[in-house]
Structure 1
Amino acid sequence: MKSLLLCLLGVTAGIWQRNYTVGEVMKNARQLSYDSTSVKITGYITGKLRGTTYIFEDRTAEIKVEIANRYLPAKPFNDRDEVTIRAWVRYEINQPITLQVNETVINE
C-alpha cells in the first residue's frame, strides 16, 4: 500500500517524467499542447537561428526550440554535447511545431 501511495505521489508531483523523442513530440503535438504537458527530451542543440531560437535534434528528427537566456546552462556547450530539455509544446494549425523551454537546460 505504501509503495502504491509513493508511486501515485511521484507521478502527480512530476518526479517520474517520461522521456520523449522529437519524433514522438511531433506525432503527438496536438495532444501534448492541449494537456499543457512539459516534455523531457534528450538530444543536441545543433544551431542558433535568431535571438532565442535554436535547432534541437535527436536520432528521430529536428525541431525549433525557444530558449530564454535564463534557461541556458552556465557551462558552455557545443553541438556534440548531449543536453536534456524540459519544454512546453507549442502547436498551432498551419504553423511549425515548436518547443518553449521552461527549465534550465542540463548538459551532461
Structure 2
Amino acid sequence: MKCLLMGLLLPLFLLPQKKYYTVGEVLKNARQLTYDSVTVKIKGYITGKVGRSTYLLEDRTAEIRVDIADRFLPGKPFNDKDEVIIEAWVQYEINKPVTLTANRPVTHD
C-alpha cells in the first residue's frame, strides 16, 4: 500500500516549477508568447519610471518596458537595487517595441 501511495505521489513532487524567463528570452520569443497567452515570470530590477504606470525592467540580458497598475505594485517600498518578480502578459505588435503588462502583484525578496 505504501509503495502504491509513493508511486502516485512521487510524480507530483517531480513536476517542474514555473520557469523564470529572462528579458532576452521574452524579446526573442515575443511573437510565440503572445499567441500562446502565456503569463511569463521574470526576475529583474525596476530601474526607472517612464510614464504614469510604465516602468523599465532590466536583468542581465536586456531591458523592457512593463505596464504595472497601481494595484499590482508592492505595498512595501523598493528601489533599483531590489530584485523583483513580475508575472505579466507579453504584448507584441509588428513594428512596435515589445512590452509587458503585469497581471499579478509584483513581489520582491
Please, what TM-score do these two structures have when normalized by structure 2? 0.88
Pairwise CA distance, 1:21: 0.2
In structure 2, the partner of 1:77 is 78
Tell me the alpha carbon deviations over residues 44-97 of structure 1, each in whole angstroms, 9 at most, x when there is no partner: 000000110000000000000000000000100011111000000000011100
* Structure 1 consecutive aligned stretches of length 4 or more whose deviation exceeds 2 Å: none
Letter matched to residue 20 of structure 1: Y
Please, what TM-score do these two structures have when normalized by structure 1? 0.89
Instruction: Give the Cα separation in 2 of the matches to 1:7 and 1:66.
Output: 34
Q: Identify unmatched segments of 5+ residues in structure 1.
A: none
In structure 2, the partner of 1:28 is 29
Instruction: Give the Cα separation in 1 of the matches to 2:67 and 2:18.
Output: 21
Instruction: Give the Cα separation in 2 of the matches to 1:25 and 1:92.
Output: 14
Larger Rg, first or second structure (1 or 2): 2
Letter matched to residue 94 of structure 2: I
Instruction: Give the Cα separation in 1 of the matches to 2:80 and 2:22.
Output: 17
Question: Quick one: percent identity of the two aligned structures?
Answer: 61
Letter matched to residue 84 of structure 2: V
In structure 2, the partner of 1:53 is 54
